[in-house]
Structure 1
Amino acid sequence: MELLQRNPRGHGLNGPVLACVQMEPRVGEKHGNVVRSIEYIEEAAKNGASLVVLPELTNTGYVFADREEAFSLAEDLPTGETAQAWADVAQRLGVHIVAGIAEREGKRLYNSAIFVGPSGLVGIYRKLHLWDHEHLFFESGNRGVPVFDTPLGRISIAICYDGWFPEVYRLAAAQGADIVCVPTNWVPMRGQSADRPAMATTLTMAAAHSNGLIVACANRIGTERGQPFIGQSLIVSGDGSPLAGPASHDQEEILYAAIDLLRTRSGRTLNAFNHVLRDRRTDVYDTMLGTGWPSSRS
């Protein structure tokens, strides 16, 4: 397995380590995709990672020919074979894993992410904002923006196009999230020059800064049934600056960064007068954006 390792073995990193795997799933080759993803998880764990993020729809590939193909590749969660394989490796290696997966619930399909750890299932997230032809295959997510308590911090999940909506990051932050893991399949944006930073990376850095969150984006590479993907995975600190990446446009690689909860939480205080979350004008707009959910720590 030829991988570019950005800071392998966590050199210079103190505390728990977060890894984003940039790889090339192949549509329909579910067994091979899962086997390769486990190799990458093992590599990341060997280099000190405690939390590993994989791309969107890691097990199936992305560009389905039709809904029938998508349905045939999807699985029930958390009992499906892919979910069980990732849960087994999480337990064996003592790591947490967030990975994109096609979920089947009865006759409904979701573009989902499963979150597993050493003790088994942590949670499931369903993509809220569907992109382009995803509308032909998937239902919109119906589980909101959950935040999961873990030994590594309070962790939320978004998937790809969700990152274009500041409400997703705000709802995570308002519930006390420290980290947002983003399995993604970023594609070239219409009208954007290839010699400029990807819009996705700009949006990620802005969301991290304005919410005081670590954001970890694991993108894929390659071209699938004519659709190119742009790579450029990255891990961003709570002040909006990249901790690792952006990665290359076209290589499989693993990015590593430290999870520094003290720095992330304290960094939300911008100066003696300003705090990026407590300064919200909740007399003007609803603190939970009208969802009716109870707010948590900020």
Structure 2
Amino acid sequence: MTGAAGRSEAVINVACIQMEPRVGEKGANVRRTIELIEEAAAQGAKLLVLPELCNSGYVFETREEAFAESEEVPNGETTKAWMELAQRRGLHIVAGINEREGNLLYNSAVVVGPNGHIGTFRKLHLWNEENLFFEPGNLGMPVFRTPVGRIACNICYDSWFPESYRLAALQGADIVCVPTNWVPIPGQREGERAMANTLVMAAAHSNSVFIAAADRIGTERGQPFEGQSLIVSYTGWPIGGPASKDREEIIYAEVNLADARRNRNWTAFNQPLRDRRIDVYDEMLGSKHHAGWY
């Protein structure tokens, strides 16, 4: 570490990989993730985020199909492939995966690094027909302490719940990585930016955390996806993207993750987490998980 002035201990290149997984083509999907991760690593990225369910595709027709495209974490072939690449290239990867545990499926995000599996986040808030295939997440809102910073995760619809970002920030998260499959929202005008862009910008601002959201593109079994992946500063303003609505691409941002906590004071009087009225509402919003540093 360097001195307090201009220190660079947490400066890393973050990448969001926007791609088009195809349901029923897990092998091809995983190979494509490897190609794109290699491309981002060649550009200096050290923390990479990939879309929701990027190994399996999203729009399942039957439970049998959903199970056929699932695998265990971390012992499944997809996680092993990502771990091998993370070790070889010195990367931290957050990627959406169709996770199987016994007879249950979870819409999950796996976090891996140079030393292997770091942890798993399971989507807390299921969207639409996901409820037919997946169980609601049961691992809470973990924050993973890593050499590159404190990483939390959301998946897609989780971003519509401000509690999810607040709980991450209260436990000391520097960055929230969001594998996602954003879809058009009712009332959205042609050409309007994704509603989720607005939501993650607001969440980053009000919680003083970086957010890196990697969306998918394309139309799968009639369901269109929004693209527009983006990386947002702890200030709430985009620093990478938004990406296009319809092209595979990688967006980058070089950030000092320590700024999320170092610069949390807005004025001499105001700091968004300190100013909470915990005499009016519960400090941890009723969560069983305890607050960390903030």
> TM-score of the superposition, structure 1-length normalised?
0.94
Instruction: Tell me the residue number matched to 1:154.
Output: 150
Contact persistence 2:140–2:289 (CA under 8 A) = no
How many residue pairs align between the two structures?
285
Q: Quote the offset at 1:290 in angstroms.
A: 1.1
Instruction: Tell me the residue number matched to 1:166.
Output: 162
Residue 263 (structure 1) aligned with residue 263 (structure 2): no
Secondary structure of the residue aligned to 2:46 is: strand
Q: For 1:107-122, what aligned pairs fall within 5 Å after superposition?
A: 107-122=103-118
Q: How far, CA to CA, are the matches of 2:197 and 2:217 in structure 1?
A: 15
Identity of aligned residues (%): 64
Residue 232 (structure 1) aligned with residue 228 (structure 2): yes
Q: How far, CA to CA, are the matches of 1:227 and 1:197 in structure 2?
A: 17
Instruction: Please identify, of 253-262 and 67-76, the stretch whose mean Cα deviation from structure 2 is larger.
Output: 253-262
Q: For 1:1-298, what aligned pairs fall within 5 Å after superposition?
A: 15-298=11-294
Q: How far, CA to CA, are the matches of 1:29 and 1:83 in structure 2?
A: 16
Instruction: Tell me the residue number matched to 2:4.
Output: none
Secondary structure of the residue aligned to 2:293 is: coil
Secondary structure of the residue aligned to 2:167 is: helix
Q: Quote the offset at 1:138 in angstroms.
A: 0.4
Q: Quote the offset at 1:198 in angstroms.
A: 1.5
Contact persistence 1:30–1:60 (CA under 8 A) = yes
Instruction: Tell me the residue number matched to 1:11.
Output: none
Secondary structure of the residue aligned to 1:168 is: helix
Secondary structure of the residue aligned to 2:11 is: coil
Structure 1: any 5+ residue segments left out of the alignment?
1-13
> TM-score of the superposition, structure 2-length normalised?
0.95
Q: Quote the offset at 1:149 in angstroms.
A: 0.2
Instruction: Please identify, of 216-225 and 283-292, the stretch whose mean Cα deviation from structure 2 is larger.
Output: 283-292
Q: Quote the offset at 1:291 in angstroms.
A: 1.5
Q: How far, CA to CA, are the matches of 1:267 and 1:251 in structure 2?
A: 35
Q: Quote the offset at 1:277 in angstroms.
A: 1.0
Secondary structure of the residue aligned to 2:165 is: helix
| Deviation readout 1:53-101 (Å, 9 max, x if unpaired) | 0000000000011111001110011100101011110001110000000
| Deviation readout 1:179-227 (Å, 9 max, x if unpaired) | 0000000011111112322111000000000000000000000001111
Structure 2: any 5+ residue segments left out of the alignment?
1-9
Q: How far, CA to CA, are the matches of 2:64 and 2:277 in structure 1?
A: 47
The 4+ residue runs of structure 1 with deviation greater than 6 A are none
Q: How far, CA to CA, are the matches of 1:89 and 1:172 in structure 2?
A: 27
Secondary structure of the residue aligned to 1:49 is: coil
